[in-house]
């Protein structure tokens, strides 16, 4: 099978790494990729929002399957353009990707499908925003309706700040804002592989969204993750499939926009029960790095079965009993800004004893590997339990040098000590900021 992966992050490096280990894969291409991905796949330049160019590239490399990593091309309909060219695509149509592309649409689908989520109002005027804020009270949760590269969500105890964000969101004609009830409790990410009708769950993971230790500082695209979740209810996955993923997939099929790809269920385990915080239409970053590190079933066949609508015939997935922890190394200034051009050394020495270094914002300049973005590397450690996996990840991180590099020192720390869960979702005055 010849595969083209679209994207540039550590998530795509993790996908390419797993695909490279699959004996069914005979050729791997990536566009535009990054220097780490380039060690495993042939790289091609591409404007990832240009569906025609993506389809042309897929034809040129005779791809049997195109895997689209990030949300922006999915929402822009790049998957549709490639499918129209007669090539299998892992990733939803533009219409189905609206589950991520519009928070109000996701809420409407959840309501129709009876999926548990925060109560919410979709508002377009200041008056409605104010009445919605007062209906729920603090902490306030205010979400721009459309894709906002992660900058659209404000969770705050400050009503004036909540109102200001709400007004900013509706200032563009035709735009809306979703105001919703605050959800307490730890967050879990569950990726569900879907072929339009059948749902196959991957193992759950937990992401660390805040920049600093102890869940302090601004929100980021994600500073680390781990899997499995030893503290979680063993029935969690079954519960999410039955009450979230399957009803959502059935509702999307009923609407004539079947969902093919990853339905990323972002969940809060609240005192009232499990609730959906958000849907994404793609693999999460950095959770993918730990989930795929534990998947034993060759990946290409799973993605192809989803693309072809044959997931029901797939044998059950097999998982390593190992644990995996990933720690993100970010550049100076992240998440507010990011610094490029800092040389990175030590990667080869770091990749020992079950550690892997996945590239995100890196570039090769005159043969030297340098930082080139906010999140620069994802360092993945595996081990027989979370403690060993943490040790492996942090040992590898220690060996890597990059001026101004920042990382959290407490990824998976509580869970590896056997604590039941991590802290409740924090109330932050900052908007969440994902990667540039
Ligand atoms: P989203 O863009 O919807 O993923 O939201 C980004 C982050 O904001 C989530 O991962 C949560 O940490 C936080 N968040 C979103 N919705 C809520 C909510 N209803 N209650 C509390 N925190 C939330
Ligand atoms: N890890 C959060 C995300 O991928 O959106």
The residue written with tokens 């105890």 in the block is: 157
Please, which pLDDT band fits residue 60 given cuts at 50, 70 and 90? very high
Q: How far is the CA of 234 from the centre of ligand 1 (A)?
A: 24
Q: How far is the CA of 286 from the centre of ligand 2 (A)?
A: 7
Q: Does ligand 2 have an atom closer than 6 angstroms to the CB of 284?
A: yes
Query: What is the structure's pLDDT at 427?
Result: 54
Q: How far is the CA of 99 from the centre of ligand 2 (A)?
A: 14
| Cα angle 220-387-287, degrees, rounded to a multiple of 5 | 35
Q: How far is the CA of 87 from the centre of ligand 1 (A)?
A: 35
Do you find a cis peptide bond into 228, omega within 30 degrees of 0?
A: yes
Please, which pLDDT band fits residue 330 given cuts at 50, 70 and 90? very high
Section 73-86 average pLDDT: 98
Token pair for 219: 């929100």
Q: Does ligand 2 have an atom closer than 6 angstroms to the CB of 186?
A: no
Q: How far is the CA of 263 from the centre of ligand 2 (A)?
A: 12
Using CA atoms, how far apart are residues 67 and 73, in angstroms rounded to an integer? 11
Q: Does ligand 2 have an atom closer than 6 angstroms to the CB of 207?
A: yes
Q: What does DSSP assign to residue 330?
A: E
Where are the strands (E) in 271-346, listed by range? 273-280, 323-330, 340-345
Kindly report, residue by residue over 341-378, the tens digit of the pLDDT. 999 999 999 999 889 999 999 999 999 999 999 999 99
Is the pLDDT at 238 greater than 60, yes or no? yes
Query: What is the structure's pLDDT at 243?
Result: 97
Q: Does ligand 2 have an atom closer than 6 angstroms to the CB of 204?
A: no
Section 423-433 average pLDDT: 48
Nearest CA to ligand 2 atom 4: 284
pTM recorded for the entire structure: 0.94
SS3 at position 327: strand
Using CA atoms, how far apart are residues 151 and 50, in angstroms rounded to an integer? 23
Is the pLDDT at 423 greater than 60, yes or no? no
The distance in angstroms from the start CA to the end CA of the chain is 32
Q: What does DSSP assign to residue 338?
A: -
Strand partners, 369: 364
Using CA atoms, how far apart are residues 158 and 180, in angstroms rounded to an integer? 15
Using CA atoms, how far apart are residues 241 and 222, in angstroms rounded to an integer? 24
Nearest CA to ligand 2 atom 5: 284
Token pair for 246: 């399957």
Closest ligand to the CA of 189: 2
Is the pLDDT at 286 greater than 70, yes or no? yes
SS percent in the chain: helix, strand, coil, step 5: 30, 30, 40
Q: How many CB atoms are closer than 10 A to CB 182?
A: 18
Is the pLDDT at 422 greater than 70, yes or no? no
Using CA atoms, how far apart are residues 112 and 253, in angstroms rounded to an integer? 13
The H-assigned helical ranges of 354-402 are 386-399
Please, which pLDDT band fits residue 426 given cuts at 50, 70 and 90? low
Closest ligand to the CA of 152: 1
Query: What is the structure's pLDDT at 353?
Result: 85
Kindly report, residue by residue over 265-285, the tens digit of the pLDDT. 999 999 999 999 999 999 999
Please, which pLDDT band fits residue 433 given cuts at 50, 70 and 90? very low
Q: How many CB atoms are closer than 10 A to CB 417?
A: 9
């Amino acid at each position: 099978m010849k595969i083209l992966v679209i994207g540039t992050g550590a998530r795509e490096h993790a996908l390419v790494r797993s695909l490279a280990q699959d004996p069914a894969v005979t050729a791997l291409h990536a566009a535009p990729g990054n220097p780490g991905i380039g060690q495993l796949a042939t790289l091609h330049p591409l404007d990832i929002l240009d569906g025609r160019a993506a389809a042309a590239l897929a034809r040129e490399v005779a791809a049997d399957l195109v895997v689209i990593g990030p949300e922006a091309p999915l929402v822009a309909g790049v998957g549709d353009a490639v499918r129209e060219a007669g090539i299998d695509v892992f990733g939803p149509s533009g219409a189905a990707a609206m589950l991520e592309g519009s928070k109000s649409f996701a809420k409407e689908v959840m309501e129709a499908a009876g999926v548990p989520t925060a109560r919410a109002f979709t508002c377009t005027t200041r008056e409605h925003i104010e009445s919605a804020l007062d209906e729920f009270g603090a902490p306030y949760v205010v979400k721009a309706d459309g894709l906002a590269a992660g900058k659209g969500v404000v969770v705050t105890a400050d009503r004036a700040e909540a109102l200001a964000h709400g007004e900013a969101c509706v200032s563009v004609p035709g735009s809306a804002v979703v105001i919703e009830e605050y959800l307490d409790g730890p967050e879990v990410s569950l990726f569900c592989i879907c072929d339009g009708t059948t749902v196959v769950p991957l193992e759950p993971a937990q992401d660390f969204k805040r920049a600093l230790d102890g869940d302090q500082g601004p929100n980021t695209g994600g500073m680390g993750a781990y899997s499995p979740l030893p503290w979680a209810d063993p029935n969690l996955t079954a519960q999410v499939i039955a009450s979230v993923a399957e009803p959502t997939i059935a509702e999307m099929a009923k609407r004539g926009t079947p969902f093919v790809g990853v339905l990323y269920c972002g969940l809060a385990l609240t005192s009232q029960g499990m609730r959906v915080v958000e849907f994404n239409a793609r693999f999460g970053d950095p959770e993918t790095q730990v989930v795929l590190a534990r998947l034993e079933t060759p990946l290409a066949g799973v993605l192809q079965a989803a693309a072809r609508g044959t997931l029901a015939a797939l044998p059950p997935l097999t998982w390593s009993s190992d644990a995996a922890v990933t720690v993100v190394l970010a550049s100076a200034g992240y998440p507010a800004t990011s610094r490029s051009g800092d040389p990175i050394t030590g990667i080869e020495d770091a990749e020992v004893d079950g550690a892997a270094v996945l590239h995100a914002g890196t570039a090769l300049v005159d043969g030297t590997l340098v930082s080139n973005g906010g999140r620069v590397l994802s360092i993945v450690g595996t081990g027989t339990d979370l403690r060993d996996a943490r040790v492996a990840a942090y040992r590898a991180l220690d060996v890597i040098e990059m001026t101004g590099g920042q990382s959290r020192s407490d990824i998976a720390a509580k869970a590896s000590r056997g604590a039941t869960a991590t802290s409740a979702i924090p109330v932050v005055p900052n908007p969440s900021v994902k990667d540039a």
